[in-house]
Amino acid sequence: MSQYVALTCSALARPIYSIAATVPSAISVQMLDQGLHRVSESLRERLQNHIDSVKPDELDAILLVYGICGTSTLDLIARDTPLVISRVHDCIGLYLGSNKRYLKEFNALPGTYWYSVDYMERKGGRTQIERFRVMFLCRPVTETRAPKRCHAELDSVSVVDGNK
């Protein structure tokens, strides 16, 4: 049986664990904090440390389940084990299945903020889901302005299912 380690962002927890549980190979999943991508050097250092910790002939490959993530994955080196990396810009391309699909959605809806349930659930304190709900609670400023304001905010929300 093939042996792999998947190094991935916690924002991808559900799909990665699902894949690891259903493939015929043994995949050990190692999650890194989703906030690390904000500082490319920090994420790159953490990833390189994980890669360096793999002993020669221990695994068939290291699966780097990241995109470029702000240059964080550029120049990573696996000395003794093949390193497999996705050809996408960031995790949204992974969710949608390709750069082509990502660019199609991006061009159709420029300026879109993308959130996965994993991303929102894994934030500290009040969850991102709660924050998202609060953003769209309608608190009337005046009775005449409130309905228009609510509809304008809610009309700007779209849900894209990455599985379609």
The winner for highest mean pLDDT among 12-16, 45-49, 131-135 is: 45-49
For range 131-142, the mean pLDDT: 51
The residue count of the chain comes to: 164
pLDDT grade for 128, boundaries at 50, 70 and 90: low
CA angle 16, 76, 34 (to 5 degrees): 40
Element (H, E) at 92: helix 91-96
Residue whose token pair is 């996705």: 86
Question: Would you tell me which CATH number, out of the four given (1.10.3470, 3.40.50, 3.30.70, 3.30.450), belongs to the domain 3-96?
Answer: 3.40.50
What's the alpha-carbon Rg for the chain, to the nearest Å? 19
DSSP letter at 109 equals S
pLDDT one-digit tens code per residue, 51-100: 999 999 999 999 999 988 888 889 999 999 999 998 888 888 888 888 89
